[in-house]
Amino acid sequence: MKPIVQISLDLTNIDEALETAALAMRAGVDWLEAGTPLILAEGLHGVRALRKAFPNTPIVADLKTMDGGYLEAEMMAKAGATHVVVMARAHAETVKCVVKAGKDFGCKVMGDNMISEDMVAGAKWLEDLGCDYVIHHIGYDERRGIAAAGKRMPSPLDQLREVVNAVKVPVQAVGGLSLEQAIQCPKYGAPLVVLGAPLTIDADAFKTADGNLEASLRMICEAVHAQDVPAF
């Protein structure tokens, strides 16, 4: 598949999310993500607002589902989400319920391997349970805590190629990547490039970053879209 650019709207109000989404779409972004902060702050209203404003754009609802999988996926799909996220640390039955709801309501499922004891095995387990995509994810708190302890901050790039080789579904790398690293993800075989905190969002205030965001996003989109995803 051709590389896809997704912006994570890790914001806490609908108006700013819509404004940032419109800017991102003008710049060439392909998918919009209702980030976890937006879902916590605005819930289904945020997803509905994005769907109304962008009727033909894929929308990822970053639910980080851990339980009640069928209902959560159903609610978000009916609100307009085209993709929902379930965690690898959830029970297998929860993942299966999300996958079933995805089939019932026409929504794709992204499995997130964050804090799996074995990240590669976690990715494969998610694929085996029916997830359509794998998110290879180093968490926000984990990264900051390790860095604060004076240790090297882990990166999803450390095992990205191993994850890509372990599964057949498309992979997305998330967690502490610089802009340059995010742009390089397709070269690792991971075609879904996500831009969010802290790349385009102030990671501490969860507000849109200062500066010419639209011009920066356009440059990023052009660089990502110009690539081919190698087969490994």
**Where are the chain's structural domains?**
4-225
Fold that domain 4-225 belongs to in CATH? TIM Barrel (3.20.20)
Q: What is the pLDDT of residue 213?
A: 80
- pTM of the entire predicted model: 0.92
Round to whole Å and give the CA distance between 147 and 221: 29
Q: What is the pLDDT of residue 199?
A: 57
Round to whole Å and give the CA distance between 43 and 11: 12
Q: What is the pLDDT of residue 132?
A: 98
- Cβ proximity of 193 and 186 under 8 Å: yes
Give me the residues of the chain with pLDDT under 50, please.
Answer: 198, 202-203, 205-207
Q: What is the pLDDT of residue 180?
A: 87
Round to whole Å and give the CA distance between 123 and 135: 8
Q: What is the pLDDT of residue 206?
A: 42
Q: What is the pLDDT of residue 81?
A: 98
Please compute Rg for the chain using Cα positions. 16
Q: What is the pLDDT of residue 53?
A: 98
